[in-house]
Amino acid sequence: MSNIIIVEDDITLGESFADVFRLNDHAVDIITDGLHAVEQIRSAMPNLLVLDMHLPHVDGLDILNQLRALPELADLKIAVVSADATMVNTSVALADAALLKPISIGQLLGLLDLLN
């Protein structure tokens, strides 16, 4: 079982993502605000992070840059998600995967391949 964190301000969408992962026997936490996301991620040390790019208070790209600068999270697999194609294209170089919303169940399940 892997530990997955979803950073998504749309609670319904975050729960939908989480349900897919939980049904596949993974532990999931959801963070709905970017303000304290980096601290929470550092504390939890997840195996996979699903990171929305448009968040309240702190932009997803800022969070992504901060996480990539932390040596203790060098092995963290990060998938960025956004409805904004420009934002997805901008962040793809720093992420292990980038998905454009709307996201299918198949695409979410494909993220689990990053854990292998």
Q: What is the mean pLDDT of residues 74-81?
A: 97
Q: What is the largest CA-CA distance in the chain?
A: 33
Q: Provide the CATH topology of domain 3-115.
A: Rossmann fold (3.40.50)
Model confidence at 116: pLDDT above 90? no
pLDDT at 37 over 90: yes
Mean pLDDT across the stretch 6-12? Answer: 98
List of residues 6+ apart from 66 with CB closer than 8 A: 38
Residue ranges of domains in the chain: 3-115
pLDDT digit string, tens, across residues 62-76: 999 999 999 999 999
Q: Which of helix, strand or coil describes residue 93? A: coil
Taking residues 68-97, what's their average pLDDT? Answer: 95
Can you give the pLDDT at residue 1?
A: 86
Q: How many CA atoms lie within 13 A of 35 on its CB side?
A: 4
Per-residue tokens: 9: 């301000």
* pLDDT of 6: 98
